[in-house]
Chains A and B, each alone.
Chain A
Amino acid sequence: MMSATRILEGLGRFYIGLLLAFLYLPIVIMGLMSFNASPFYQLPFEWTTKWYEDLSRNTQLLAATWNSLEIAVITTVISTLLGTAASLALFRYEFRGKKFLQALLFPPIAIPWLITGTAMLIFFFGIGIGRGLHAILLGHVALALPYVIVVVSARLQTFAPELEEAARSLGANQWQVTMRVTLPWIMPGVIAGALFAFAVSFDQFVVSYFLSTPGQATLPVEIYAAIRKGFTPEINAVSTIIIAVSMGLMLITARFFRFGGEK
Chain B
Amino acid sequence: MAGNIAAGPLSGIRPALPLLAPAYLWLTLAIFLPLSAMAFFSFMTDLPLSGKDWSFTIRNYAAFFSSGLYVTLLWSSLRLGLEVTLWCALIGFPAAYVLAKVLKGRSREAIFLLVILPFWSNGLVRIFSWAMVLREGGILDVVLNAILPFKISVDLMYSYPAVIIGLVHSYVPYMVLTCYLTLQAIDDSLIEAARSLGASRLQVLRRLIIPLAMPGLIAGAVLIFVPVVGSFMEPRILGGRTGTFYGTVIEDQFVAVFNWPLGAALSFILLAVVLVILAAASPVLRRAT
Residues in chain A within 8 A of chain B (CB atoms): 8-9, 12-13, 15-16, 19-20, 22-27, 29-30, 33, 40-43, 82-83, 85-86, 88-90, 92-97, 101, 104, 107-108, 110-116, 118-126, 138-139, 141-142, 145-146, 149, 161, 165, 199, 202-203, 205-206, 209-210, 220, 223-224, 227-228, 231, 235-236, 239, 242-243, 246-247, 249-251, 254, 258-261
Contact = CB atoms under 8 A, between A and B. Distances in A.
Interface string B5-48: 11010111101110110111011011111110110010000011
Given A115-B230, A259-B116, A94 B34 contact: no
Nearest to B168: A22
Which secondary structure characterizes the binding site on chain A?
helix
Given A90-B20, A119-B38, A205-B124, A113 B102 contact: no
Contacts of A149: 23
B174 interface: no
B176 to A, nearest CB: 8
B125 interface: yes
A9 B31 CA distance: 47
Interface residues of B, number: 98
Interface in B163-200: 169, 172-173, 176-177, 180-181, 184
A90 B226 CA distance: 28
B26 A141 contact: yes
Nearest to B113: A254
B117 A118 contact: no
B31 A112 contact: no
Given A114-B232, A122-B34, A203 B49 contact: no
11 contacts: A23-B172, A23-B173, A30-B125, A33-B132, A93-B15, A94-B11, A115-B271, A126-B37, A138-B29, A199-B120, A224-B124
A242 B117 contact: no
A231 B131 contact: yes
A259 B112 contact: yes
Contact of B31 (A107, A205, A224): A107
Nearest to B101: A12
B5 A142 contact: no
A64 to B, nearest CB: 13
B59 interface: no
A108 B278 CA distance: 13
A114 B247 contact: yes
Interface of B is mostly: helix
Nearest to B266: A118
B38 A122 contact: yes
Contacts of A124: 34
A126 B33 CA distance: 11
Interface of B: 1-2, 5-6, 8, 10-13, 15-17, 19-20, 22-24, 26-27, 29-35, 37-38, 41, 47-49, 91, 94-95, 97-99, 102-103, 109, 111-118, 120-126, 128-133, 135, 137-139, 142, 169, 172-173, 176-177, 180-181, 184, 201, 226-227, 229-233, 236-237, 247, 250-251, 254-255, 260, 263-264, 267, 270-271, 274, 278
Contact of A95 (B13, B30, B32, B115): B13
A114 B230 contact: yes
B42 to A, nearest CB: 9
Contacts of B91: 19, 22
Given A118-B264, A228-B236, A126 B126 contact: no
A119 B41 CA distance: 10
Q: Which of A40, A93, A203, A261: most chain B CB closer than 10 A?
A: A93
Nearest to B99: A16
A95 B226 contact: no
A239 B117 contact: no
Contacts of A260: 109, 112, 177, 180-181, 184
A33 B11 CA distance: 60
Contacts of B32: 104, 107
Contacts of A123: 33-34, 37-38
B117 A43 contact: no
A159 to B, nearest CB: 12
Nearest to A16: B98
A256 B13 CA distance: 32
9 shortest interchain CB distances as A-B pairs: A112-B230, A142-B30, A123-B34, A89-B19, A12-B98, A30-B129, A86-B23, A95-B13, A119-B34
Contacts of B30: 120, 138-139, 141-142
A121 B250 CA distance: 13
B13 A96 contact: yes
Nearest to A43: B142
Nearest to B111: A16
A121 to B, nearest CB: 6
Contacts of A104: 24, 27, 32
